[in-house]
Structure 1
Amino acid sequence: MIDIPCVILCGGKSSRMKEDKTLLPFFNSNSLAQFQYHRLKLYFQNIYISSKNDKFDFIDKNYLILDENKEIFSPILALDTIFKKFFNQKIFIITVDSPFVSIESIRALIENSKDVDICVAKTEDKVHNLCGIFDSNISLTIKNMINQDIHKINYLIKQNKFKIIEFPNNDEFMNINTPDDYKKSLICINKIYNSN
């Protein structure tokens, strides 16, 4: 089992989906959030969900991290709340809408994160800023960014010692943002599990 904590980000607006994507049914689970949680729970000793509100019935409330700021949708604000829970340790951060990232890729990110503050994934020409290892010692940078009203994850990465690891499989890092993405993801997940 992986001993660093895993945090699944579930506090986005889902504006392109037009409904809360964390609660969409997914494969054999009642929701996408539940699927991602149970999938990763097979590998991580401790797994948490970061959210704006308590909307999940499958998780122990001690493992739910509620954003302190409910009004503004910003991953920087979510990270600020998350890092208050963890002192001086690395954390694996992943978004709820990327259910295809393999455990092999996650282990590669962890392996490459030993000498840096942030280690994130990249495919072709896209950096996946919210799929990677973040060290909680960057919390001061985050506080400074919030004070300056800067909310870009890319800015946070560049302000710290970072590494970007390239992966060859684009589909593995697919994000479910739109109804079309959702339909495509359901086809993909059925193919994966029915071929095993």
Structure 2
Amino acid sequence: MTIASHKIPCVILCGGKSSRMGEDKSLLPFDSKTTLTQYQYDRLKPYFKKVYISSKNNKFDFDCNLIFDDNEIYSPIVALKSIFEALQSEDKIFIITVDTPLVKIDSISKIIDKSKSWDICVAKTIKTHNLCGVFSKKTKETLDEMIDKNIHKVGYLLNNLNTQTVQFDNDDEFINLNNIQEYKKSLKIIS
């Protein structure tokens, strides 16, 4: 499949606590890159009009476009709100977590292609991958309401908007590097 550059931005979420990993997974080395974040940033950059990193602070040792999530609450809902505030002129944004480095560009393209008439369109294998997909700016109002009500579950957001899932067969492609075993498994797969 020939990949054309997507006319939407991509944001890599890097603001989590990494509590199950025991250290900041966004800063772990990956493949030939010094960090997992730089690996994701560099591999996605050619396919989007612009790539950003969403983080609580600038902890990165390479030049990148940052969107700061300066709320004390560690929540993807808060991060999504910060992203839509920073990128107000964008109708749709592709969101991916830093800890899913094996998602193929073809799969990302498939999600974007299927997202046209949906508020949210995310990947699904055995489970739904809530933070690997296209989010429209129509989500902003619901994000504001969720934060006001102290609701921080991404599943709630998906259930309360016009959401489509795109089915994929390879569960390993969407592996989350939440612990050292998953990190080592992904290094084996990538090599």
User: Which range, TM-score by smaller chain?
Assistant: over 0.9
Partner of 2:18: 14
Measured in 1, the distance between the counterparts of 2:93 and 2:80 equals 10
Measured in 2, the distance between the counterparts of 1:2 and 1:165 equals 18
How many pairs does the alignment contain?
A: 186
Q: CA deviation at 1:86?
A: 2.0
Measured in 2, the distance between the counterparts of 1:167 and 1:40 equals 19
The answer on whether the counterparts of 1:86 and 1:136 sit within 8 Å (CA) in structure 2 is no
Q: CA deviation at 1:137?
A: 2.2
Measured in 2, the distance between the counterparts of 1:143 and 1:10 equals 21
Measured in 2, the distance between the counterparts of 1:57 and 1:45 equals 22
The answer on whether the counterparts of 1:5 and 1:44 sit within 8 Å (CA) in structure 2 is yes
Write out aligned runs for 1:44-193 (5 A).
44-60=48-64, 63-69=65-71, 71-87=72-88, 88-124=90-126, 126-190=127-191
Q: CA deviation at 1:38?
A: 0.4
SS at match of 2:178: coil
Q: CA deviation at 1:57?
A: 2.2
Q: CA deviation at 1:185?
A: 1.1
Paired residue type of 2:186: S
Measured in 2, the distance between the counterparts of 1:116 and 1:44 equals 19
* TM-score (ref. length: structure 1): 0.92
Measured in 2, the distance between the counterparts of 1:26 and 1:169 equals 21
> Which of residues 13, 34, 39 is equivalent to 1:35?
39
SS at match of 1:2: coil
Encode CA deviations 1:161-187: one digit per residue, 9 max, x unaligned. 110111011111011110111111111
Paired residue type of 2:123: A
Measured in 2, the distance between the counterparts of 1:186 and 1:137 equals 37
Paired residue type of 1:189: I
Measured in 2, the distance between the counterparts of 1:89 and 1:59 equals 26
Measured in 2, the distance between the counterparts of 1:33 and 1:136 equals 25
Identical aligned pairs, as a percentage? 56
* TM-score (ref. length: structure 2): 0.95
Measured in 2, the distance between the counterparts of 1:78 and 1:123 equals 24
Q: CA deviation at 1:42?
A: 2.1
SS at match of 2:94: strand
Partner of 1:23: 27
Partner of 1:194: none
Q: CA deviation at 1:45?
A: 2.1
Measured in 1, the distance between the counterparts of 2:49 and 2:63 equals 14
